[in-house]
Amino acid sequence: MGLSTNTDLQAIFGQVDGLLAKLPSGTEGGSSFNAGEFFKLGNILNGSLDLEGGSSGSNGDQTANMIKSTINTVMSLLDKITNQEAKAAREEVKKNKKAAAELQKEQEKSRAELQSSIDTIQRDIETESTVVTDSTKSLEDVNKELAEKQAELNAIVQKIEKQQKLLAEAKTPEEKAAILGQIQGLSGQISELVGSLGELQSQVEELSQSVENAVTNIETAKGNAVTVQQDGQMEILKLVQEGGTLLTQNTSTQVKGVTNQGVGAGLQAAAEAASSNMFSAGAAPKLYRAANDQSTAGETRASGSLANLQTVLQGIGGLKDNTSLLSHFETAIGSALDAFSGAVGSWNTSVDPVITSIGSFEAVKTGNEELNAAVTSDLSSLGYTAEVDESGEVTVTKEDNGEEEEQNSDNSQIELQTSQFDVQSKLNPFEKVKIEQ
């Protein structure tokens, strides 16, 4: 005859079997428990399995053989049940806990690195924008100085025109020579004025180089911004994938924990059944130990996986910060680059008239050289020379060649080049150039 039937135990075995079927393939944990052998053991103990393949007969030998076979099978199966499931569960949970913590740590590190990269690029763009803005402000100072020099030039030109009128009215060579000397002195002032532009031109060149460097640096910053966005997106994707893997692993651990608890309950029932049967009582202690091992493993996996899942979800949830940073970064960078472009536009608007003005002063230099040559030629024609000292004082000297009276008569009829010199055209080219003051 068979062993006594335990319907509650059979129900537990069925429940555990169902849970085991839900486990993903290839789950980790180092479990030493063999579910199939456990079910076989349970079915033997609760009498649902006939070891000889049929029901027990009335023959005493058959009964004795069945009992002996049952004992041998039970002991053989118990030898395969080790008390290492709780240890395997602890190692599994510990491993998953470490992986979950690493995920959260990676997410926080990724967010910090992303924030640092974003701050650096924004700072670089702001720095270059400041360079361009400051250069434009410095250019305004150059504008003011150029405007002042234009005003000085205009005043000198007016004085030259006044002297030209006096020259046209002069009668004697002496009067003409004196006036020509004054014009030569004024021409010297123009030469000095134009010569002082060298420093302003150097300032404009330095400012232009700074702006050019800023534009180059911005192109580098743009490239870095693209890299940061791409790397940030790839890092988020990687961490999401890692998080998904950890969710699967910890969910598997949780299912295994429930399974362990069911198995523990089944072993407990088996132990109780064995202890109440004289033929299997010797297996009861080992069954009790196995039951405790499975129950402990179940509790460890169930509670540990729940805590680990919360950590994993925190890590995955933290990726929203990374995504938000990237989204804000794209908007902020776009705004910063627009501001930089605006600053460069203001610079271009300001620098064009400055360059034109400086170029015009170069034309004034050429015209002034023509004026000075005309004055020198006219003085020579009249028989005079003029010298201008460092203070701007003009000294006109008559050349002594022994033919004074005859020269005076001839010189009074000479047509002077200086009288015909177009002062406005040659020395005042700024009519169309407006310099902000």
pLDDT average, residue stretch 61-71: 54
pLDDT at 393 over 50: yes
pLDDT at 66 over 80: no
What is the percent of the chain with per-residue pLDDT over 90, rounded to a whole number? 42
**Better-predicted residue by pLDDT, 158 or 394:** 158
**Better-predicted residue by pLDDT, 159 or 76:** 159
When pLDDT is cut at 50, 70 and 90, the band that residue 53 belongs to is: very low
d(CA 352, CA 405): 57
C-alpha closest to that of 197 among 144, 145, 159: 145
When pLDDT is cut at 50, 70 and 90, the band that residue 22 belongs to is: very low
302-348: pLDDT as tens digits: 899 889 888 888 888 888 888 899 989 989 999 999 999 999 999 99
d(CA 320, CA 326): 10
Q: Which amino acid is it at 302?
A: A
The mean of the pLDDT values for the chain is 80
pLDDT at 25 over 80: no
What is the percent of the chain with per-residue pLDDT over 70, rounded to a whole number? 74
Question: For residue 40, what pLDDT is reported?
Answer: 54
When pLDDT is cut at 50, 70 and 90, the band that residue 260 belongs to is: confident
**Which residues are paired to 397 by β-bridges?**
385
112-142: pLDDT as tens digits: 999 999 999 999 999 999 999 999 999 999 9
pLDDT average, residue stretch 90-102: 92
The CB density around residue 44, as the number of other CB atoms within 10 Å, is: 23
With beta carbons less than 8 A apart as the criterion, state whether 173 and 403 touch.
Answer: no
Question: For residue 134, what pLDDT is reported?
Answer: 96
158-190: pLDDT as tens digits: 999 999 999 999 988 999 999 999 999 999 999
**Better-predicted residue by pLDDT, 143 or 287:** 143
The Cα-based distances of 45 to 129, 290, 404 in angstroms read 84, 15, 154
pLDDT average, residue stretch 254-268: 83
Token pair 């150029």 in the structure block, residue: 146
Question: For residue 285, what pLDDT is reported?
Answer: 83
pLDDT at 11 over 80: no
29-52: pLDDT as tens digits: 455 445 555 555 555 555 555 544
Of the ranges 65-79, 262-276, 287-301, which one carries the lowest mean pLDDT score? Answer: 65-79
**Better-predicted residue by pLDDT, 9 or 253:** 253
d(CA 201, CA 22): 83
| Radius of gyration, CA atoms only, the chain | 52
Question: For residue 3, what pLDDT is reported?
Answer: 35
pLDDT average, residue stretch 381-386: 86
